[in-house]
Amino acid sequence: MTARKNPAGEPGRTAIRTKPVRVTVDLDPATYTELNRWVGGAAIAVNPDFPRLPLAKAIRAMIHATTGQRGSGQRGHRAAAPGLSGP
């Protein structure tokens, strides 16, 4: 890996990350099935007319719900997704 010189423009400060971070999770088949069932139920709860909810969006909603944060564009998923009641 190549070191960047003065990434933040000031000595002693680091650059602020602007790109998303990719996370990989290994799930056993039963847990994967359970996750997909939950996402399917959440998709129907969020939008019954077009029940599509990508796993990445569902996981973001879970994180925001469990940490009490509200991310941009995630408000509807937190309020409507089953099993994601606020703190």
Q: Could you tell me the residue range of the domain that residue 59 belongs to? A: 29-80
C-alpha 54/C-alpha 28 separation (Å) is 19
pLDDT tens for each residue of 40-83: 999 999 899 999 999 999 999 889 999 987 654 444 444 445 55
- pTM to 2 decimal places: 0.55
C-alpha 19/C-alpha 49 separation (Å) is 32
Residue 5 lies in a domain: no
Cα Rg, the chain, nearest whole Å: 18
The structural domain count of the chain equals: 1
Tally Cβ neighbours within 10 Å of residue 22: 6
**The predicted structure's pLDDT at residue 43:** 93
Which tokens hold the place of 80?
């409507």
Residue 70 lies in a domain: yes
Residue 60 lies in a domain: yes
Residue 2 lies in a domain: no
**Closest residue by Cα to residue 62 from 32, 48, 47, 42:** 42
